[in-house]
Structure 1
Amino acid sequence: MSVPTASIHAMPRTESEVAVEVRGICKNYGDVEALRQIDLDFPRGKLTTLLGPSGCGKTTLLKIIAGLVEPTSGDVRVNEKIVTGPGPERAFVFQDFALMPWATVMRNVAFGLELKGMGKAERQSIARHYIAEVGLTGFEDKYPHELSGGMRQRVGLARAFAVNAEVLLLDEPFSAVDEQNRRKFQEDLLQLVEKERKTFIFVTHSIEEAVYVSDRIVLLSRRPSRVAQIIEPTIDRTASPDAIRRDQGYLDTVEEIWQGLKHYVD
């Protein structure tokens, strides 16, 4: 099946507006070609979602940007500097939380700051701020096994924010929670995007979630994955969550994306 023609609903961006540049990224796992010639710009201070069929390489691309996986060819630049591994300007929120089971919420959130050598009082003050931001005040001394899945994911988000990284990389962060909590997390995420003014790169399987939270949506094709289409939803973010989900522009964008993806579904 041929890849749809790229549809980019945006004016060309200047270098100063771009936080992350992906150029000619290819990734092979032995004989399996996962990514083929990916070229993308991620605008500063915006949330961009990677969306595509299962197994298309969304998480692989995210981990290449994070410096956790080395590409077969091509390069990634953050603030015009080539990525050669993990760096303090990027923070990764894992799908499976990746919390230290033996550490309290406070210690988990402050851990990145501890690794930087920050003093205990200062790092706990910063951690406490972000624990409050994600709605976990009062749980500072709890351990991961004492928290629900949704609460553990909030700890992961707080930890990523605490290190003050410029780029937040989120790998399906809400996939392990129920629908009610997922919707609440989506609303919380939009508030944090607005407040923090950081660059977010977000992976999800949900078309509705992508449209609800994203400034830009990158549709990836079936493996070997290429950029199939780029969509910028035009949604009034000042409306209530319920109004957004009923908005015709939201519904039309969901349908447009489904039409672009459905021929990749078996």
Structure 2
Amino acid sequence: MRNATLRKVPTEQPAMMDSIVEVRGISKSYGNVEALRSIDLDFPRGKLTSLLGPSGCGKTTLLKIIAGLIEPDGGKVSVNGREVSKPGPERAFVFQDFALLPWATVLRNVAFGLELRGRPVAEREKVARHYIAEVGLSGFEDKYPHELSGGMRQRVGLARALSVDADVLLLDEPFSAVDEQNRRKFQEDLIRLRTNQNKTFIFVTHSIEEAVYISDRIVLLSPRPGRVSQIIEPEIDRSVDPDRIHRDKHYLDTVEEIWQGLKQYVD
């Protein structure tokens, strides 16, 4: 494989030529706790960007502000040039706890977003079946969430987000509740889906290894109040065998360099 070099990007950048999400001056406090301070970021279209940083640095808060689920105290977010004030069809959120409808089958759960949009039954079920197959759950369409493993439930959540054909998928630590084997498989699937679907992914994770492996860009946030500390582009050839990547010296060096920058903030 070619060398997996590490490219550091200036944190103060001009707007990117093809940014789909623009974050300008975002700040947020919860009572006396300042979660985020003056966040400026551009998220390039068709890329996977991870938000990484110590616990409590505001990663999930920033993700939910982009989703329109939380209102910032200051600043604004724009998606496709339009300011965000609430959730919208151009964004889909994959929750850490799956957030599935317990009384609905896999097929109904995946089609639910299209159902809310008033799509005909035949159309939404056709789309849902396509994305159920994309995430490797063909044959489970008539199962209920309680009949699935945690990893399978997370796949349902991802298929539901993909089915609404949103431009931006927002993922809040989606693999944290699954075992290591499933997590590795999910990471590979996510890289494949990002390539095949040409969507923009914004991904919150606590795992340095995961961020380096899956990301086109990594945004490092400082301890609370969260600010943009560094932007890293790990230039890794992900077309080769994943096991080779995890053993590659340049991948390991990138992980170690990020760890050296973050470990001072770990209790």
Q: TM-score range by the shorter chain?
A: over 0.9
d(CA) in 2 for partners of 1:15, 1:261: 27
User: Is contact 1:234-1:249 (8 Å) kept?
Assistant: no
d(CA) in 2 for partners of 1:245, 1:83: 38
Q: What letter matches 1:158 in structure 2?
A: A
Report the equivalent of 1:154.
155
Structure 1 segments (4+ residues) deviating >4 Å: 12-16
Q: What letter matches 1:71 in structure 2?
A: P
What percentage of aligned pairs have identical amino acids? 76
User: Is contact 1:58-1:203 (8 Å) kept?
Assistant: yes
Report the equivalent of 1:144.
145
- Helix, strand or coil for the counterpart of 2:166? coil
* Alignment of structure 1 residues 54-133 onto 2, 5 Å: 54-133=55-134
d(CA) in 2 for partners of 1:263, 1:80: 38
User: Is contact 2:51-2:59 (8 Å) kept?
Assistant: yes
Going from structure 1 to structure 2, the CA distance change for 1:191 and 1:9 (only over 3 Å counts) comes to farther
* Alignment of structure 1 residues 1-266 onto 2, 5 Å: 7-8=8-9, 15-266=16-267
Deviation at 1:13, TM superposition (A): 6.9
User: Is contact 1:51-1:204 (8 Å) kept?
Assistant: yes
Listed as ranges, the gaps of 5+ residues in structure 2 are 1-7
d(CA) in 1 for partners of 2:44, 2:162: 19
User: Is contact 1:113-1:123 (8 Å) kept?
Assistant: yes
* TM-score, length basis structure 2: 0.95
User: Is contact 2:48-2:217 (8 Å) kept?
Assistant: yes
Deviation at 1:14, TM superposition (A): 6.0
User: Is contact 1:22-1:77 (8 Å) kept?
Assistant: yes
Listed as ranges, the gaps of 5+ residues in structure 1 are 1-6
1:182-219 Cα deviation digits (max 9, x unpaired): 00000011000000001000000000000000000000
User: Is contact 1:233-1:253 (8 Å) kept?
Assistant: yes
Q: What letter matches 1:119 in structure 2?
A: P
Going from structure 1 to structure 2, the CA distance change for 1:13 and 1:248 (only over 3 Å counts) comes to farther
d(CA) in 2 for partners of 1:72, 1:9: 26
Instruction: Name which of structure 1's ranges 233-242 and 96-105 shifts more when overlaid on structure 2.
Output: 233-242
Report the equivalent of 2:3.
none
Instruction: Name which of structure 1's ranges 129-138 and 245-254 shifts more when overlaid on structure 2.
Output: 245-254
d(CA) in 2 for partners of 1:192, 1:13: 29
d(CA) in 2 for partners of 1:22, 1:13: 12
d(CA) in 2 for partners of 1:259, 1:9: 19
Q: What letter matches 2:27 in structure 1?
A: C
d(CA) in 1 for partners of 2:28, 2:155: 31
User: Is contact 2:10-2:230 (8 Å) kept?
Assistant: no
Q: What letter matches 1:235 in structure 2?
A: I
1:214-264 Cα deviation digits (max 9, x unpaired): 000000011011111110001111211001111122111101110111111
Q: What letter matches 1:259 in structure 2?
A: Q
Going from structure 1 to structure 2, the CA distance change for 1:227 and 1:14 (only over 3 Å counts) comes to closer
* TM-score, length basis structure 1: 0.95
1:116-174 Cα deviation digits (max 9, x unpaired): 11100010000000000000000000000000000000000000000000000000000
d(CA) in 2 for partners of 1:55, 1:146: 34
- Helix, strand or coil for the counterpart of 1:139? coil
Instruction: Name which of structure 1's ranges 256-265 and 118-127 shifts more when overlaid on structure 2.
Output: 256-265
User: Is contact 1:9-1:232 (8 Å) kept?
Assistant: no
